[in-house]
Amino acid sequence: MSRIATRFAELRAANRAGLVTFVTAGDPTLELSLNIVCGLPAAGADVIEIGMPFTDPMADGPAIQAAGLRALAAGTTMVKTLALVRAFRAGDNATPIVLMGYLNPVLAYGPDRFAADAAEAGVDGLILVDLPPEEEDELAPALAKNGLSLVRLATPTTDAARLPTVVGGAQGFVYYVAVAGVTGTKSAAIGSIESAVTRIKAATDLPVAVGFGIRDAASAAAIARVADAAVVGSAIVDVIANQLDADDLPAQVHGFVAELARGVRGARQG
């Protein structure tokens, strides 16, 4: 099985949801970014999403936009993003890594070259927020050839007619975007999330991870009670932004992730 499938099978066996953490490659520097990523599994991250910096991140709010700009200013490129994954894999061959971002940098790199290099570096999957299923043909064959999962997004506006198209070719897991809008700006009611997860699970056997609007351990725990994983991005990126001058920046991030993990892991107890 893939690392993603293996990890979600482990979570099911443990009767708990997973914690998916997002950070941007190269934020605030490549060295600090690597230190942050390497410490995430020990802090409690079950799956790691790594953002590919891009100049026009249209689905992201101010926090992740700023992270991307910091990363680009630090000289982060796609080659260096993959090098970060490769360096992480030198010490961890179990934690799934999913690259998240936009289609443009992947096409600029070249779909076949990207898929081969990403797989060699140790990437397990890809989330491209601006790539609808109907437009996947240029990239999907290269990903499949190299064993990379293309994770698809469902949203509150994905209706019953659209849902089969979204989940039909999804791989790894389905990412449910809990709110309409950009990242880090608002939260959805847990009742609406639970009904959406139930609807998605009726259409696919893949795990469902829920993201957007999860700010703390309590909200992560609430999601963990109804979904297979809680995804936290902007709140972690905010810790980085607020601790840019701190000597212990990675430790601050890992401490916050540990709080989130305790919330997620305690969500189904009792």
Among 64, 66, 100, 94, residue whose Cα is nearest residue 81 = 100
Structure tokens at 212: 């957007």
Describe the crossing of helices 190-201 and 217-224 by its angle, rounded to 10 degrees.
40
The active-site residue out of 46, 60, 117, 238 is 60
Q: Is the peptide bond before 105 cis (omega within 30 degrees of 0)?
A: no
60 part of the active site: yes
Q: Is the distance from CB of 182 to CB of 204 less than 8 angstroms?
A: no
CA separation, residue 129 to residues 22, 161, 176, 198, 253 (Å) = 14, 20, 12, 22, 25
Closest to 67 (Cα-Cα) out of 26, 103, 6, 128: 26
Strands 125-128, 208-211: parallel, antiparallel or unpaired by DSSP? Answer: unpaired
Q: Parallel, antiparallel, or unpaired for β 47-51 and 97-101?
A: parallel
**Which is the catalytic residue, given 10, 27, 46, 49?**
49
Q: Which residues are catalytic?
A: 49, 60
